[in-house]
Amino acid sequence: MLCFGRDFRMDFLTLFIIYTVFVLGSFIMVMNCSGREQFLQSCVNNLSKITACVLPVKLRCTACRMFNKVLYTRNPFFLVLHIVLEVVVYGEYTGELYGYCLEMEFTVLSLSIPYVLLMVKMIFFVMCCVKDPGTVTKSSQGFPLYSYDGVIYQEGIKCATCNLIKPARSKHCRLCNRCIHRFDHHCVWVNNCIGAVNMRYFLLYMLTLCAMAGDLAMLAVAFLQQLVLKSNLMQGSYIGEDGEPHPVDISFTIQHLFLTFPRVVFMLGFLIVVFLLLAGYLCFHLYLVLVNETSNEWFKKRQWNVIQSKHLKHKHKSAKCKSNYHRGVLGNIKEIFKPLTDVEKKHV
Ligand SMILES: [Zn+2]
Ligand SMILES: [Zn+2]
């Protein structure tokens, strides 16, 4: 029977606090940077209020300028951060987990899948970064890709910056400084807009990224599970603070794994959070594909409905935004993978 010398509750607590701060930080960062400008704005405002009490004015202004530059200009900060996080996770996988899993007789095929997913994901990631999302040009401004719904999109409106007629479903991106056909959102992680042309690559990128995080997390769980089973850890005992032996329970096992393989457990926690966020975000985008809506339209419709319901509060009826580009489920999917802007190019 295994017997552990001491109860390492304090070590665990310190490590767990660092871990929680790290994982929560990652969670907040991913939430705030997934295309929701309102979140970013409130984040900046709250941070300014907090720093106003702590930092001197000059330092605060510099920090504010840097923060605004990172969040409100087109720059590769999050793109580089994305690659750094990936290098850290794959470094840990290759340097530690891969070797342990081989020792535990995991098949090379199952251990190679994360590398295959990484390569496929990189292809879609590069496509998202470099492909023109569907910039509105002089020649494409008048092309009737979609009809104006008269609610979100009004006919004959010119973009004040580009000085071009805004086609229906297009929007001007302040970060890229151009109007984009079937604008969805500006993604800081790929440092590009997501629009009519690169939406298909964005979906496939999200899908492979999700699969990558899920596969790595499953391998880490399988390794920790095998470790507990093969070492008969649950059948052992440990000496508690009272000096008495206690049988190993779940809480002790988690603490033990945390302290023995901290990097693997850190990586697992991070991957689970990333996977859940990505899966949720991907499901939201798949729903939008099925109903033929963009994130921009979804958000504007909600805003429109809230305003209308306030106006009609006393009239016992609610008005719903009638904007609708639905062409049937198959038609909607086809529109993503064979964008109308491609059809347009063939005609020009
Ligand atoms: Zn514009
Ligand atoms: Zn943009």
Per-residue pLDDT tens digits for 244-272: 777 888 878 888 888 888 889 889 988 99
Q: Is residue 81 part of a domain?
A: yes
> What are the DSSP E strand ranges found in the chain?
3-4, 171-173, 178-180, 185-187, 192-194, 237-239, 245-247
Ion ligand 2: residue ranges with CB closer than 5 A: 173, 175-176, 186, 193
Q: Is residue 51 part of a domain?
A: no
Distance in Å, CA 87 to ligand 1 centroid? 36
Measure the CA–CA gap between 273 and 19, rounded to whole angstroms: 12
Q: Is residue 310 part of a domain?
A: no
Helical spans, DSSP H, in 55-187: 57-72, 77-92, 98-103, 108-130
Distance in Å, CA 272 to ligand 2 centroid? 29
Distance in Å, CA 320 to ligand 1 centroid? 28
CB 32 within 8 Å of CB 267:
no
Domain count, the chain: 1
Residue count (the chain): 348
CB 83 within 8 Å of CB 121:
no
73: which DSSP letter? S
Distance in Å, CA 50 to ligand 2 centroid? 29
Q: Is residue 296 part of a domain?
A: no
What's the pLDDT at 14? 66
The radius of gyration of the chain's CA atoms, rounded to the nearest angstrom, is: 25
Q: Is residue 267 part of a domain?
A: yes
Element housing 219 (H / E): helix 199-230
What's the pLDDT at 347? 45
Measure the CA–CA gap between 82 and 233, rounded to whole angstroms: 37
Q: Is residue 91 part of a domain?
A: yes
> What are the DSSP E strand ranges found in 139-250?
171-173, 178-180, 185-187, 192-194, 237-239, 245-247
Query: Which tokens in the block code for residue 169?
Result: 């479903």
Measure the CA–CA gap between 227 and 84, rounded to whole angstroms: 29
Ion ligand 1: residue ranges with CB closer than 5 A: 159, 161-162, 172, 179
What's the pLDDT at 61? 74
Per-residue pLDDT of 72-85, as tens digits, reads 788 888 899 899 99
What's the pLDDT at 1? 45
Q: Is residue 317 part of a domain?
A: no
Measure the CA–CA gap between 230 and 238, rounded to whole angstroms: 18
**Nearest alpha-carbon partner for 2 in 253, 223, 170:** 253
What's the pLDDT at 259? 83
Distance in Å, CA 142 to ligand 1 centroid? 14
What's the pLDDT at 348? 39
What's the pLDDT at 8? 52
Give the number of the ligand closest to the Cα of residue 174: 2
Scored b (16 or more CB within 10 A) or e, 241-261 reads eeeeeeebeeebbebbbbeeb
Looking at this protein, which amino acid is placed at residue 4? Answer: F
Distance in Å, CA 188 to ligand 2 centroid? 8
Q: Which of 128, 187, 193, 210 is catalytic?
A: 187
**Looking at beta carbons, which pairs linking 19-26 to residues 24 or more positions away fall under 8 Å?**
19/258, 19/265, 19/266, 19/269, 22/266, 22/270, 23/269, 23/270, 23/273, 26/270, 26/273, 26/274
- Per the annotation, the verdict on 187 as an active-site residue is yes
Torsion sign across C-alpha atoms 188, 193, 196, 198 = negative
Say which residues have a Cβ less than 8 Å from residue 337's Cβ, sequence separation at least 6: 200
Give the number of the ligand closest to the Cα of residue 158: 1
What's the pLDDT at 218? 96
Give the number of the ligand closest to the Cα of residue 161: 1
Structural domain span for residue 22: 3-32+74-288
Query: Which tokens in the block code for residue 202?
Result: 């964005």
Give the number of the ligand closest to the Cα of residue 183: 2
Distance in Å, CA 73 to ligand 2 centroid? 9
What's the pLDDT at 145? 80
Other beta carbons less than 10 A from residue 207's beta carbon: 19
Q: Is residue 110 part of a domain?
A: yes
Residue-level pLDDT, tens digit, the chain, 348 residues: 444 544 455 556 666 676 677 666 666 665 555 555 555 566 666 766 776 666 677 776 777 777 666 767 888 888 998 999 999 999 999 999 999 999 998 999 999 999 999 999 999 999 999 999 999 988 877 666 888 888 889 888 999 999 999 999 999 999 999 999 999 999 989 999 999 999 999 999 999 999 999 999 999 999 999 998 888 877 777 777 777 777 888 878 888 888 888 889 889 988 998 999 999 999 999 999 999 999 999 988 888 877 777 776 655 555 666 668 888 999 999 999 988 765 455 443
